Structures are given as C-alpha cells and as structure tokens.
C-alpha cells in the first residue's frame, strides 16, 4: 500500500484495517481507532480476532479466516458481526472484505472496511416492536382501517371490517375494492395507476356508500390518507359506519325544517331563560327581523309580567313538571301587547338532566278580545237585569208612595175646599158694599176657626186701628201664628192660636197670609171709598170753582164754588162751552191750555181772567189737569179756579202797610239802639272805673257783683250792636265801603282775637291756600265781622281737634270754608241757624255765651257783599260753613 493510498484511507469515514495472513493487524485507520476506542497505533501487530472480537465468536471467525487464507473458501463480500471496544462495549459492524494477493497470487492478508451499524440495528428492532403495537392499535380502533393500492387492491384491512361490512380481513385482503365493496359510481375519486403524478397526496374526508357482504349498502365516512409508499401510491382509509347517524341527521333536518317553517312561534331558552333559538314565526309575531336582536336576551324582555317574581314563578313551574301551559301577555318590539297561549317543555340530556326549555305560542289576542267582549256583554246583561229589577222595585215603592200621595191629595183637597170656603167667605163679606171695616173683621173671626183645616185651632184675634176683635171664647196660648199687614201705615194683625204644642205647617201659614192679604185689600178699598166720599165732599164744598169738561171744551161737571164764583148753577152751565166763562180777549188762552192738556200736561196756577154771569171780569188762578180713561187716553180736563180779584186788592194794601211798618221798625230799632247804647256805654264805663278801684276800694263781693254787671252790659251791647247792624241793613242804611284788603293780614288780626280760646281748648287752627299777598276787594269792617263770627263760632262750638279756614278763588267769587271738628248740628235744628235770636237748645250751647244773632247778621253781611252762605254738619262730628263773596 502506498503512502498515498494510506493517506486516503486515513481520512475516509469508514473503519479500514488490513490483516496479514496470521490475523495480525497491519493497518488501522483513524476512524478504526475511533470506533474501537484505542489510541492511534496501539493495535498494530495485535491479533484482530483476539483483541477486537467478542469471545463467543472469536474462534469461529478466526477459523473462517484461516480457511480463507488457505484459499479453502471464497471470501464473503458483505457480512456483519460484532466487535468489542477497548472499554468492552459491543458494536455491530457491517463488513466489506477484499482478499490481498501478492504478485504471485498468493493470499497474504485481507483488507476490510466496516460501518458501525449498531444504531440502525437498534432502530430496526424498535421498528419491529412498534409495528406490532401499531397492529394491535389498528385492530382495536373503532374505525375500519383499510389500505388499498393505487389499483384499488386491498392490501390491508383491520378486523373492524367484519363489523362494518360482514367480511373478515383475510376475506378482503388481496381483493379489489371495486366492485366488491364500492360501486365505481359512488366512489368519489378514480383509482388509477396512470394518474400517479396527478394523484392528490394528503388527507381528505370522504363519505360514500359501501356494499355489505349481505348486499345492503351502508354509508361510511372518515379520512382517506393518500401517500407515497416506496414509489407507490397507497390509500389508507379510516372509516366509520355513519348510516344511522346520517339517518338521524336527516330526520333532525326534517324536524328542524318543520320547526323553522312552522307557523307557530317556537323558542328554546336555556335554564336562565336566555333565548338560544327562535323560529321565524316567533320573530314575526314579536315584530323582530334579526336573530341578533333576540338571541342571548332574557325571555323576560318579551313577556309582560308585572314583576320579576311573577316572571320567575311562571318558569319555576317548569322545574317541577315537564310541561306547562298557560297564557302570557307578549310584548312586541314596538311595545304593543298581545295575548298568547304558551306550551313549554323541558329538554333533558342523556343523564336526564334538564338542559333547555322549549316553548311554542299561539296568538290568542282575538280569542282574548272575544272573551273580553263576551264577559263585557255578560256584565252588561247582568247590569241590565239589575237595573230592571231596581226599576221594578222603584215602581213598586213609587206606586205605594203614589197611593200615599193620593190619600194626602184627597186630604189636601178636603182642606183646600175648606180653605176656599174660608177665603170665599171673606171675599164675599168684603164684597158687600155697605159693611163697615169693623163688621168685616168680626165676620172674619167666625169664618176662620170652623172652616179651618185644623180642629185643634181654638181661636183667632184681629187687631186693627187700635181695636181688638175676638170671639167670646178667645183664649191666648203660646202656640201662635200671625200675619201682620200695614194699611195706610195702620197695622193689621191677625193671630191664630193652637191649644196644644204643634208646629204650624206651611199651608196654614200660606192661608193666613192669604187671609191677611184679602182683608188688607178689602179694608184698603173701604178706606179709599171713605176718602173718595171725603173728596167728593171737599169738591162739593170747596170755595174754589171745580169743574170738568170734555175734549170739545163742553162743561160736564160743576161744583158749588163754581156757582158762587161764576154765578151759574150747574143746570145752567153743564153742556155749555167753556167760552161762557172767559172774556173774549182770553179765547186764545183757552186754546193754548187745551192744546197743552191734550198730550197729558198739567197747568198749574195759571193767572188769567175769567167772566161771571153778570159780566164782571175776574182775576183767576187756574189749575187744569187732564182726565184720562182706563186706557190712559185724555178724554177731557178738570179745572180748579180761584178767584183772587178781591184778595189781590187786599194784598196790595197789606204789602204797603208791611213795608211801612218794616221801615218804621228798622228806623225805630236804629234810633232805639242808639238810645240804648249811650246809657249802656256809661254803665260799662263806670263799672270799669269802680272795678279798677279808681274811686276807692271795694270788697270782694262787690267786685263779683260788679263783674257780673259788666259782663251782662257787654252782652247787651253786643246784642244792641247786632240789632243795630241788622236794622241798618234792613232799613237800607248800611253802606258799603269797598277797599283792597290783604287777606292774610286780616286773618292774623282775627287770629289774635280767637287765639286765647283755641289755645285754652288746645285746638289747632289751620289755614289753607291763603297767599300772603292775596288781596280781596271787600268792606273791611263788615268782612272782618263775617270771618270773625264764623271762626269764633267754630272755636266756640268745638271741644277738640281742629278749626280750618280754606280759601279758593272762582271766576266771579272768592270762596271760604270754615271747617271744624266740633259738636255739629242736628238736622232738625238746621232751620234755626240763620234765624234772629235763635240758638240751639242744648246744655252745651247754653253754657256758651251767645246772642243767636251772630249768624243771621253774618248772613246779611255776606248777602250784602253779593254772596251767600250755606253749611253742612254732622251731629257730633263737626260742621263746615261755606260762604262766597262776589268779586
């Protein structure tokens, strides 16, 4: 072996060694040492068989080697045997030997190469074992395992084939799949040698028919693995009989279809009432369109139950029984409500545990409505019957009442007849003409008790015009009914008395009222008749001429007065025209009067001229009134004429006299007053002198008396002054001296005079609307007197509060209001106020000094200024005196 060769052998990955013919190692490459576990070179010259072979085969292999060397046997090209490593581990080597020959062809040794196949040997073993296991597994599989080659020949089938197809495996192995087990038409893919390349490799699911040994077909289903095995395509099927399952599925499908297409709403809920399935009919009934809207939701949402509890209770029933029926109120998507009948079942699993509930519904809204209607109808009917019964009852009681009322009415009629009799009696009595009021009242006494309804009524009393009328048996009790009427302000009292405690009833009261009314009318008529008689007398005897005429001015009646004034008797004048009584120049007046009378006017105290029978012209004051018939039409007139021819003459005379005497009186008064004033002044003056002790001392008593004298004298002087003033005015001697007067200055002067009094009484004195610079044109002294009189009166007659002077200006007047909050004046005393010497008679006024002339003088002074005075007063509250002064 060359070194080159050796080098080559060194690097080769196979164990290579060379032995001489004795079996000694002459060469071992690197790989050889590696496998055998010796250090390189260590084995050179060592016996291969002794060193490197396990003892049990060493002799045998050594013998074979000797024979080989001798050329007795031919070398085996390949063999395998174990070797032993330095550490004693056995390894299996797959050998390849080449016998080495020398040049002469003599065997000199051997060159061997070997591969360590220890590992693959173990694998092989394992494979064998696992194949066995695999076989067991296959045999115990639930599925039928069938292996066919690409021509369809069955190469393997497990014993499940018997269960599925009725064949034992040995019956099938080597047979063709088609047509023994599978009809070509049913087989989904062709088994074809030629189509190798195109064959699908991998797993597919298959399901198709197979023919059972006894001829019926079954459906198998499973996986088909198509794979390459040693360049050949092989199909391994793992198949199951799904005939039954298919059938189940089919029937389930049918059932599903039935449920899906059912027109009855059907649902499934889980044990928590959550919807797991609904059919289209349900969706439609509940108004939904998509399953997502409802699935997974609680049934609670779709059923109207008042409370959660009520809802749960309904479902709890299902837990106890398997089937529940009942009525529910469904709630649609849009919220509307309907009635439905429900049938619910529980679905159990194999362990008999409930897993689902199924429910179907029938819409019974219509039925419900119909039932409701029926119920309502029934109710109505019942009510009708009730009503009718009530009506009947009512009728019966009413009839009873009617009978009672009839009886009452009969009684009432009896009573009314009596009542009518009584009233008729009274009316009859009243209609009698020559019967006095007294007689009427007396007969009424007899008419009332016996005809009156009430037998216990014992007596009647009538009081009229201070006369009492009663029966002899009259007895007053405390049970009294009465009526009171007024006839020309005279009271008429009719009283009836019971002899026992009894409420008077309304009929009695009404009857008594009616009696009262009738008697009143009767008496009134009699009274007016009386009046009429008086009037007739008056007309007859009147000194005035009273006569009437028709619309044609023809005289129709004539009294004695007319006879006296005009000189005609009634016989002479009645039927004659009025013109006989009128001087010719007054004919127009007659015409004028009659045109005024026609529309119903009246002519009062018209002064004109008349003509008497002797031709004397008379001064006549005539009052003419229209005479109307019952329809209110004017049918004529009547006149009252007074002849004042004589009195006119006398009047003139009297007036002249009066004037003269008045003038005389005033003049007299003026001079008298003057005469009176002079001595009075000296009385006052001298009394003053004595009182002021000018003429010497006086004692207290003398002082007191003299003070009295002075007061009286001053009062008298006041009186005389006033009289004098009045007289002056009346006699026309009073003169006016008009000048500009500053109003506020004048008032302040008066104020100083009245201040002590109002201060003393603690009164307020107020001025209103009085301008400082206001001047008025008046007689200074007289105006001052006016204002002073009124203001001092206001202060005098006021005890507390305020006195006010208000000024205002009008176009032609100045106006003054003197207002106080004093004692006031009674209305009955109003006419006294401005009269001379008149004072109100009261303790209060008497205690205050006064003459009763102040206001009468004031009035005259005001009138003298072209103004007037008036007052308003409320007794106890105060007075306001208002006067004007002409500008």
Stretch 745-784: interaction string toward ligand ADP, x if CB under 6 A: ----------------------------------------
Q: Which is nearer to ligand ADP, 611 or 833 (CB)?
A: 833
Q: Which is nearer to ligand ADP, 318 or 853 (CB)?
A: 853
Q: Which is nearer to ligand ADP, 94 or 871 (CB)?
A: 871
Q: Counting contacts by CB under 6 A, is residue 786 touching ligand ADP? A: no
Q: Which is nearer to ligand ADP, 608 or 798 (CB)?
A: 798
- Consecutive H or E run containing 218: strand 217-229
DSSP character string of 82-104: EEE-TTS-EEEEEEEEEEEE-TT
Q: Which is nearer to ligand ADP, 167 or 881 (CB)?
A: 881
Residue nearest ligand ADP by beta-carbon distance: 850
What CA–CA distances, in Å, run from 728 to 434, 720, 734, 863?
A: 67, 12, 5, 14
Q: In angstroms, what is the minimal distance from the CB of 865 to ligand ADP?
A: 18
Q: In angstroms, what is the minimal distance from the CB of 792 to ligand ADP?
A: 8
Q: Counting contacts by CB under 6 A, is residue 57 touching ligand ADP? A: no
- Torsion of the alpha carbons at 657, 662, 668 and 673, rounded to the nearest 10: 170
Q: Which is nearer to ligand ADP, 583 or 850 (CB)?
A: 850
Q: In angstroms, what is the minimal distance from the CB of 853 to ligand ADP?
A: 6
Q: Which is nearer to ligand ADP, 666 or 858 (CB)?
A: 858
Q: Counting contacts by CB under 6 A, is residue 793 touching ligand ADP? A: yes
**Sheet holding 480-487: strands in order across?**
467-470, 457-464, 490-498, 480-487
**Sheet holding 25-28: strands in order across?**
25-28, 15-20, 107-116, 90-101, 78-84
Q: Which is nearer to ligand ADP, 593 or 825 (CB)?
A: 825
Q: Counting contacts by CB under 6 A, is residue 419 touching ligand ADP? A: no
Q: In angstroms, what is the minimal distance from the CB of 879 to ligand ADP?
A: 4
Looking at residue 231, what DSSP letter applies? T
Q: Which stretch binds ligand ADP (CB under 6 A): 284-292, 362-370, 416-424, 793-801?
A: 793-801
Q: Which is nearer to ligand ADP, 16 or 669 (CB)?
A: 669
- 802's tokens: 């305020």
Which residues sit opposite 232 in a β-bridge? Answer: 229
Quote the CA–CA distance of 130 and 126 in Å, as a whole number. Answer: 6
Q: In angstroms, what is the minimal distance from the CB of 720 to ligand ADP?
A: 14
- Consecutive H or E run containing 16: strand 15-20
Contacts of 564 (CB under 8 A, 6+ apart): 543, 545
Q: In angstroms, what is the minimal distance from the CB of 868 to ligand ADP?
A: 16
DSSP character string of 568-618: --HHHHTTSBGGGGS-GGGHHHHHHHHHHHTTT--EEEEEEEEE-TT--EE
Q: In angstroms, what is the minimal distance from the CB of 483 to ligand ADP?
A: 47
Q: In angstroms, what is the minimal distance from the CB of 630 to ligand ADP?
A: 54
Which residues sit opposite 545 in a β-bridge? Answer: 641
Q: In angstroms, what is the minimal distance from the CB of 856 to ligand ADP?
A: 6
Stretch 616-645: interaction string toward ligand ADP, x if CB under 6 A: ------------------------------
Q: Which stretch binds ligand ADP (CB under 6 A): 358-366, 425-433, 565-573, 821-829?
A: 821-829
> Which residue intervals of 187-279 are DSSP H helices?
243-261
Q: Which is nearer to ligand ADP, 839 or 865 (CB)?
A: 839
Q: Which is nearer to ligand ADP, 244 or 842 (CB)?
A: 842
Closest among 354, 278, 349, 277 to 321, alpha carbons compared = 354
**Residue whose token pair is 């019942």:** 382
What CA–CA distances, in Å, run from 677 to 38, 104, 373, 664, 719?
A: 198, 225, 122, 19, 10
**Residue whose token pair is 């019926």:** 216
Stretch 848-877: interaction string toward ligand ADP, x if CB under 6 A: --xxxxxxx---------------------
Quote the CA–CA distance of 388 and 290 in Å, as a whole number. Answer: 57
Quote the CA–CA distance of 190 and 859 in Å, as a whole number. Answer: 159
Q: In angstroms, what is the minimal distance from the CB of 777 to ligand ADP?
A: 26
Q: In angstroms, what is the minimal distance from the CB of 749 to ligand ADP?
A: 20
**Residue 116 phi/psi, 5° resolution?**
-75, 110
Q: Which is nearer to ligand ADP, 16 or 795 (CB)?
A: 795
Quote the CA–CA distance of 13 and 116 in Å, as a whole number. Answer: 10
Secondary structure E strands in 588-694 = 603-611, 617-628, 634-643
Q: Which is nearer to ligand ADP, 288 or 788 (CB)?
A: 788
Q: Counting contacts by CB under 6 A, is residue 822 touching ligand ADP? A: yes
Q: In angstroms, what is the minimal distance from the CB of 506 to ligand ADP?
A: 55
Q: In angstroms, what is the minimal distance from the CB of 862 to ligand ADP?
A: 13
Quote the CA–CA distance of 523 and 780 in Å, as a whole number. Answer: 67
Q: In angstroms, what is the minimal distance from the CB of 780 to ligand ADP?
A: 21
Closest among 72, 79, 71, 85 to 112, alpha carbons compared = 79
Region 797-816 residues binding ligand ADP, contact defined as CB under 6 A: 797
Secondary structure E strands in 332-382 = 337-348, 354-363
Q: Counting contacts by CB under 6 A, is residue 794 touching ligand ADP? A: yes
Q: Counting contacts by CB under 6 A, is residue 879 touching ligand ADP? A: yes
Q: Which is nearer to ligand ADP, 138 or 787 (CB)?
A: 787
Q: In angstroms, what is the minimal distance from the CB of 661 to ligand ADP?
A: 25
Q: Which stretch binds ligand ADP (CB under 6 A): 334-342, 385-393, 726-734, 790-798?
A: 790-798
Name the CA radius of gyration of the chain, rounded. Answer: 82
Q: Which is nearer to ligand ADP, 463 or 832 (CB)?
A: 832
Region 823-852 residues binding ligand ADP, contact defined as CB under 6 A: 823, 825, 833, 839-840, 845, 850-852
Handedness of CA 319, 322, 325, 330 (dihedral sign): positive
Looking at residue 241, what DSSP letter applies? E
Residues in the site for ligand ADP, rule: CB under 6 A?
793-794, 797, 820, 822-823, 825, 833, 839-840, 845, 850-856, 879
């Amino acid at each position: 072996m060359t070194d080159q060769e050796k080098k080559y052998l060194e690097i080769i990955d196979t164990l290579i060694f060379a032995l001489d013919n004795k079996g000694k190692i002459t060469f071992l490459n690197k790989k050889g040492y590696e496998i055998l576990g010796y250090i390189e070179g260590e084995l050179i010259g060592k016996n291969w068989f002794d060193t490197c072979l396990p003892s049990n085969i060493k002799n045998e292999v050594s013998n074979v080697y000797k024979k080989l060397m001798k050329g007795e046997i031919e070398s085996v090209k390949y063999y395998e045997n174990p070797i032993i490593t330095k550490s004693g581990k056995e390894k299996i080597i797959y050998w390849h030997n080449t016998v080495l020959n020398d040049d002469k062809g003599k065997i000199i040794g051997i060159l061997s190469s070997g591969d360590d196949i220890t590992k693959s040997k173990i694998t092989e073993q394992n494979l064998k074992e696992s194949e066995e296991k695999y076989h067991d597994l296959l045999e115990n599989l639930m599925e039928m395992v069938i292996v066919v080659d690409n021509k369809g020949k069955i190469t393997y089938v497990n014993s499940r084939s018997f269960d599925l197809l009725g064949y034992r495996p040995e019956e099938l192995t080597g047979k063709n799949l088609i047509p023994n087990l599978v009809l070509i038409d049913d087989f989904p893919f062709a088994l074809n040698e030629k189509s190798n390349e195109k064959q699908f490799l991998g797993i597919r699911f298959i399901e198709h028919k197979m023919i059972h040994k006894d001829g019926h077909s079954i459906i198998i289903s499973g996986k088909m693995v198509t794979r390459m095995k040693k360049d050949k395509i092989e199909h391994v099927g793992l198949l199951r009989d799904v005939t039954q399952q298919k059938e189940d599925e089919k029937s389930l499908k049918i059932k599903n279809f039935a449920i899906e297409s059912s027109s009855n709403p059907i649902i499934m809920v889980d044990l928590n009432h959550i919807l797991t399935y609904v059919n289209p009919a349900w969706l439609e009934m509940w108004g939904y369109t998509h399953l997502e809207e409802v699935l997974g939701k609680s049934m609670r949402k779709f059923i109207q139950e008042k409370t959660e509890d009520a809802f749960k209770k309904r479902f709890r029933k299902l837990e106890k029984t398997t089937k529940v029926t009942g009525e529910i109120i469904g709630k649609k998507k849009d919220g509307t409500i309907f009635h439905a009948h429900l049938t619910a079942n529980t679905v159990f699993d194999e362990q008999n545990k409930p897993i689902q509930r199924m429910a179907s519904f029938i819409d019974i809204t219509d039925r419900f409505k119909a039932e409701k209607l029926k119920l309502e109808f029934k109710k109505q009917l019942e009510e009708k019957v009730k009503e009718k019964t009530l009506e009947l009852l009512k009728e019966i009681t009413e009839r009873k009442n009617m009978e009672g009322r009839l009886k009452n009415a009969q009684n009432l009629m009896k009573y009314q007849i009596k009542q009518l009799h009584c009233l008729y009696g009274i009316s009859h009595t009243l209609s009698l003409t020559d019967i006095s009021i007294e007689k009427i009242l007396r007969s009424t006494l007899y008419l009332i008790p016996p005809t009156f309804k009430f037998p216990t009524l014992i007596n009647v009393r009538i009081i009229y015009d201070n006369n009492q009328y009663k029966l002899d048996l009259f007895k007053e009790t405390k049970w009294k009914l009465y009526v009171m009427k007024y006839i020309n302000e005279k009271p008429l009292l009719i009283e009836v008395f019971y002899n026992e405690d009894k409420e008077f009833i309304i009929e009695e009261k009404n009857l008594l009222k009616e009696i009262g009314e009738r008697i009143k009318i009767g008496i009134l008529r009699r009274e007016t008749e009386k009046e009429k008689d008086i009037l007739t007398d008056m007309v007859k005897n009147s000194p005035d001429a009273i006569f009437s005429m028709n619309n044609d001015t023809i005289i129709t009646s004539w009294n004695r007065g007319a006879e006296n004034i005009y000189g005609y008797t009634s016989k002479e004048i009645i039927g004659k025209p009025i013109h006989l009584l009128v001087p010719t120049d007054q004919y127009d007046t007659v015409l004028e009067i009659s045109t005024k009378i026609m529309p119903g006017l009246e002519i009062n105290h018209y002064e004109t001229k008349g003509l008497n029978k002797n031709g004397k012209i008379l001064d006549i004051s005539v009052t003419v009134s229209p005479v109307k018939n019952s329809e209110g039409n004017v049918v004529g007139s009547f006149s009252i004429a007074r002849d004042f021819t004589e009195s006119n003459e006398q009047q003139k005379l009297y007036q002249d006299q009066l004037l003269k005497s008045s003038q005389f009186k005033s003049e007299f008064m003026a001079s008298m007053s003057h005469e009176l004033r002079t001595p009075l002044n000296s009385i006052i003056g001298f009394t003053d002198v004595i009182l002021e002790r000018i003429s010497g001392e006086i004692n207290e008593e003398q002082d007191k008396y003299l003070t009295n004298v002075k007061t009286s004298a001053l009062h008298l002087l006041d009186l005389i002054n006033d009289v004098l003033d009045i007289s002056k005015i009346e006699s026309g001697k009073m003169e006016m001296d008009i000048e500009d007067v500053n109003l506020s200055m004048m008032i302040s002067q008066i104020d100083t005079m009245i201040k002590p009094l109002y201060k003393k009484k603690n009164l307020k004195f107020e001025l209103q609307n009085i301008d400082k610079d206001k001047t008025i044109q008046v007689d200074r002294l007289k105006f001052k007197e006016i204002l002073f009189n009124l203001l001092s009166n206001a202060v005098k007659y006021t005890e507390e509060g305020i006195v006010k002077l208000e000024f205002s200006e009008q176009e032609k007047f100045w106006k003054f209001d003197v207002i106080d909050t004093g004692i006031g004046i009674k209305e009955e005393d109003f006419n006294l106020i401005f009269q001379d010497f008149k004072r109100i008679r009261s303790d209060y006024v008497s205690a205050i000094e006064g003459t009763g002339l102040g206001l009468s003088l004031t009035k005259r002074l005001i009138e003298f200024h072209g103004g007037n005075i008036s007052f308003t007063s409320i007794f106890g509250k105060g007075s306001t005196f208002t006067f004007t002064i002409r500008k």
